[in-house]
Amino acid sequence: MKVEAGKSHIHGTGLFSREAIKKGELIGQFEGRATKENDIHVLWYEEKGNWRALSVTNVLKYANHSKKPNVEVLGREMYAIRKIKKGEEITFDYGDEWQ
C-alpha cells in the first residue's frame, strides 16, 4: 500500500504517503465490518441510495479531517484530488455533521 500510519500534527495517529501519489490515483479501499453504531473509525458512505456504516479495520482509518483535504472518499474508495508528496499527511473532509 502507498500509505502508512504515523504520528500526526493534526490529531494522534495520521495517515501518510510512502511515495508520491498522482492526482486521481486510487489510494485504497476502506475495509472492515458493517455496523449500525457511530464510533471512532466508522466510515459513513452512501451506496445505491442508502447510508451504510463501516467499522474500518485497515490503515485508511487513520486519515484525519481537514477542510483543505488532499483526498476524497467515493463510497469505500479513497482517491487523490491533487498530487501528494512522499511523507505528506493524507486528509479528507469528514463533512458538515462531523464535530
Query: For position 34, what pLDDT does the model report?
Result: 97
pLDDT mean for each 10 residues of the chain (99 residues): 96 97 98 94 94 97 97 97 98 79
- Is 99 among the domain residues? no
CA atoms within 13 A on the CB side of 92: 19
Domain range for 45 is 3-92
Query: For position 96, what pLDDT does the model report?
Result: 75
Write the CATH number for 44.
2.170.270.10
- Is 50 among the domain residues? yes
- Is 27 among the domain residues? yes
Query: For position 99, what pLDDT does the model report?
Result: 56
pTM above 0.85, yes or no: yes
- Neighbour-count burial for 17-53, b at 16+ CB within 10 Å, e otherwise: beeebeeeeebbebebeeeeeeeeeebeeeeeeeeeb
Query: For position 97, what pLDDT does the model report?
Result: 66
Q: For the chain, how many structural domains are there in total? A: 1
Query: For position 1, what pLDDT does the model report?
Result: 86
